[in-house]
A and B are shown apart, each in its own frame.
Chain A
Amino acid sequence: MNPELAVEIKNVVIGVLELGIAPERLDDTVSLYSPVVGLDSLSLLHILVEIEKRFDIEIDDEDVMAAELSDVGSLVAMIRQVVDAKGAGE
């Protein structure tokens, strides 16, 4: 587990959604649908595009379509997998 990665991902979420909160407030158990996050599927794509730029990765369609995202932790876990896979491939 790289805690810095989680913070970076949360910073992207906060930036794209203009949440104006500190990453510590975005606990892994916070629902993506809560008033704090209020995510929808289109915003998710914007977040993923921003994360792709930030980490210089390309996320596969299948991974996105198959993702079952419910809370902040599940989003972080999904992106961590892609980033780790890229690291392993290098």
Chain B
Amino acid sequence: MRHAFELDAGQVPTHWYNILADLPFEVPPPRSAPRVNGERRTLNPQLPLSMYRPSIGRDRWVEIPEPVRAEYQRWRPTPLYRATRLEKDLDTPAHIYFKYEGTSPSGSHKINTALAQAYYYARSGVGEMVTGTGAGQWGTALSMACHPYGMECTVFMVRSSYRQKPYRGTLMRLNGARVIESPSAETEVGRAALRADPDSPGSLGIANAEAIEYAAARENARFSIGSGENHVLLHQTVIGEEALLQMRMAGEFPDVVIGAMGAGSNFAGITFPFYRAAQEQNAATRFLAVEPDACPKMTRGRYLLDYTDYSGVTPMVKMYTLGHTFTAYHIHAGGLRYHGAAPIVSAMYDKGLMDATSYSQSRVFDCGAAFARAEGLVPAPESAHAVTAAIDEALKAREERAERVILFSLSGHGLLDLGAYESHLAGNTVDVVPTDEQIQASLRPLIESP
């Protein structure tokens, strides 16, 4: 029997948790992007004010609108399990717990913010949501979230993932979305990227830039993003709030909380509520972000003002970044190829409140496969990064003969990533690490700018 800690639908959180209320410092606000001299055009706000307002405020609790909570209750609360077979395979005294977000309709945590955003956008009178997606989890989630609100959905999907994971596109189209391979010929940004490199694998930065340009040309369309913005992190805290209750059921509190790090929403979702709880009970819990060697924004990037999109039309935010023109090697964990880390997570990392580590793609797939064999759940390649760090923590506990409590977020299932696992089993996994020169090249313009 699986060690499961289940909550009932009535225990779905009624509020999101705003960590800004508990940080002992200010997170630097966005800075406007420079504009062309004398340019005249109208300004189209992209985000609903009612959604954005609480994400920059200092109110600790933000009420989840009832229609959004009702949607959450269609599959939430998600289960929290203890990975007893993995513990046995590793012969570790550590207790390993994982919060499983793969039971959601879209198969990952992304739908937690997609549904919230769709609610606010629809209420604002928007008719079409446009976005960029890396591995496809975000695009899938948004396409599913638009449907209940009668909105159209257009998704620019990073080319490398579009080709590696064709069923992601199918799933989005099945939900009524228009899916466009990025870089595309539909936008000036895409055409420029294709002129520069016809074989470009694409990047989330380019896909988002295409989505922004596409949305700007349509009156009733708005760009939406599911990465590292404050409101996205806020919506994802339902993960950690549930996990807090579930760990209480288990009678334990984690010594370390681990999450894969793309832009940071999954990581924030699992860690932020535990940050608050650790503060309240003076626990020395560590928070560990796990990124791929191929896109080491936290472990090898710099804390600088940078754009969140490839073309540099968005406001600049202070974040750990590899530079917005950095294009990571097309690893299977496409959701972790984003060049920057969320401003809140970055600020916490800068202050020493978070740790970060990185792993090679081959090690991640080895650990993902070991987890799948032990626990019968196939992790998404992104989530397998958290699995890998959890395994390392458990092995360290074995060496130190310490009964450590480990919690990680299994942010999505990998059933649409079996091609990647097949390739790994066939010995075809490639490990590519950017050189210092490559990272410096994309960071240099930011370091040299005033």
A39 touches B41 (CB 8 A): no
Q: Is A20 an interface residue (CB 8 A)?
A: no
Q: Is A54 an interface residue (CB 8 A)?
A: no
Contacts of B34-48 to chain A: CB distance below 8 A: 34-48
Q: Which residues of A contact B30 (CB under 8 A)?
A: 42-43, 46
B124 touches A35 (CB 8 A): no
B53 touches A49 (CB 8 A): yes
A41 touches B47 (CB 8 A): yes
Q: Is A21 an interface residue (CB 8 A)?
A: no
Convert B57-98 into 0s and 1s, putting 1 for each residue whose CB lies closer than 8 angstroms to a CB of A.
100000000000000000000000000000000000000000
B46 touches A31 (CB 8 A): no
Of the candidates B36, B43, B49, the one whose C-beta lies within 8 Å of that of A59 is B49
Given A34-B35, A35-B37, A65-B125; A70-B42 close (CB under 8 Å): yes
B42 touches A48 (CB 8 A): no
B39 touches A33 (CB 8 A): yes
Q: Is A67 an interface residue (CB 8 A)?
A: yes
Contacts of B1-45 to chain A: CB distance below 8 A: 29-30, 32-45
Closest chain B residue, CB of each to CB of A35:
B37
Which residue among A32, A45, A68 has the maximum number of chain B CB atoms within 10 Å of its CB? A45
Of the candidates B34, B39, B44, B314, the one whose C-beta lies within 8 Å of that of A31 is B39
Given A33-B36, A40-B33, A49-B53; A61-B120 close (CB under 8 Å): yes
Given A42-B30, A43-B30; A49-B49 close (CB under 8 Å): yes
A70 touches B40 (CB 8 A): yes
B315 touches A70 (CB 8 A): no
Q: Is B52 an interface residue (CB 8 A)?
A: yes
Q: Is A14 an interface residue (CB 8 A)?
A: no
Q: Is B123 an interface residue (CB 8 A)?
A: yes
Number of A-B contacts (CB under 8 A): 94
Closest chain B residue, CB of each to CB of A71:
B40
B45 touches A64 (CB 8 A): yes
Closest chain B residue, CB of each to CB of A43:
B32
Q: Which residues of A contact B120 (CB under 8 A)?
A: 61
Q: How many residues of A contact B (CB 8 A)?
A: 29
Of the candidates B32, B34, B45, B48, the one whose C-beta lies within 8 Å of that of A67 is B45
Q: Is B402 an interface residue (CB 8 A)?
A: no
Q: Is A69 an interface residue (CB 8 A)?
A: yes
Q: Is B126 an interface residue (CB 8 A)?
A: yes
Convert A36-77 into 0s and 1s, putting 1 for each residue whose CB lies closer than 8 angstroms to a CB of B.
001111111110110010000001111011111110000000
Closest chain B residue, CB of each to CB of A75:
B43
Q: In the complex the two chains form, what is the Cα distance from A35 to B56 in whole Å? A: 26
Q: Which residues of B contact A32 (CB under 8 A)?
A: 43
B124 touches A61 (CB 8 A): yes
A41 touches B45 (CB 8 A): yes
B124 touches A33 (CB 8 A): no
Q: Is A7 an interface residue (CB 8 A)?
A: no
Q: Is A17 an interface residue (CB 8 A)?
A: yes
Of the candidates B36, B43, B48, B53, the one whose C-beta lies within 8 Å of that of A69 is B43
B43 touches A62 (CB 8 A): no
Given A33-B35, A64-B124; A41-B43 close (CB under 8 Å): yes
Nearest Cβ on chain A to B208's Cβ, whole angstroms: 14
Nearest Cβ on chain A to B54's Cβ, whole angstroms: 10
Nearest Cβ on chain A to B229's Cβ, whole angstroms: 9
Of the candidates A34, A43, A64, the one whose C-beta lies within 8 Å of that of B48 is A64
Q: Which residues of B contact A49 (CB under 8 A)?
A: 49, 52-53, 56-57
Q: Which residues of A contact B53 (CB under 8 A)?
A: 45, 49, 52
Of the candidates A31, A45, A52, the one whose C-beta lies within 8 Å of that of B45 is A45
Closest chain B residue, CB of each to CB of A18:
B31
Could you list which residues of chain B lie within 8 angstroms of chain A, going by C-beta atoms?
A: 29-30, 32-50, 52-53, 56-57, 120, 123-126, 222, 314-315
Other than the known A35-B37, A67-B43, what 8 A-B pairs have Cβ atoms closer than 8 Å? Answer: A31-B39, A41-B47, A43-B32, A46-B29, A46-B56, A61-B49, A61-B50, A66-B125
